Amino acid sequence: MDHWLIKSEPDVFGIDHLKKAGREPWSGVRNYQARNFMKEMKIGDLALFYHSSTQPPGVAGIAKVVSKTYPDPTQFQKKSEYFDPKSTEEKPRWWLVDFEYVATFTDLVKLEALKADPFFNDMIVCKKGTRLSITPVEAAHFKRVCKLAGCKI
């Protein structure tokens, strides 16, 4: 099983939205690197749900991959803000998976806390200038974040 970190702005779609929805297609990723990581995801993989562009930023909970990778339907929808005229149904450019709600952390594991701990030095989200919305996470890092949150997975 692999581990990941997925970023989302809580004002747009946060962990509470996922909890309410139960399950959500992770549409709208329009970055090739992030897309490639999503293509590597397998059913059962776990992801840290990270809140970005908020005060304070940090990991808010856990989500689980519950579908295989399939074409992002919003790329074909003309009215969607994610519409991509260069994409075709025969050769879709953008792919996604569905995430299922797993848990909300009682206390947000702040980015500040991750940066303060040398154990997380290699974690991509801690590095300067990383805007990637989907990143792989080492199992040890994943476990430690859960531990900091007092969350047993």
Residue whose CB is less far from DNA, 78 or 152: 78
Cis peptide leading into 25, omega within 30 of 0?
no
* Positions in the binding site for DNA (CB under 7 A): 7, 9, 31-33, 52-55, 57, 111-112, 115, 128-133
3-state secondary structure at position 102: strand
For tokens 């059913």, the residue is 43
Question: What token pair was written down for 58?
Answer: 């940090």
> At closest approach, how far in Å is the CB of 152 from DNA?
26
> At closest approach, how far in Å is the CB of 123 from DNA?
12
Work out the number of other CB atoms within 10 angstroms of the CB of residue 90: 5
> At closest approach, how far in Å is the CB of 7 from DNA?
4
Residue whose CB is less far from DNA, 32 or 119: 32
Residue whose CB is less far from DNA, 22 or 105: 105
The number of residues in the chain equals 153
For tokens 């569905």, the residue is 98
Strand partners, 62: 48, 103
Residue whose CB is less far from DNA, 12 or 43: 12
> At closest approach, how far in Å is the CB of 2 from DNA?
20
Q: How far apart, in whole angstroms, are the C-alpha atoms of residue 38 and residue 21?
A: 20
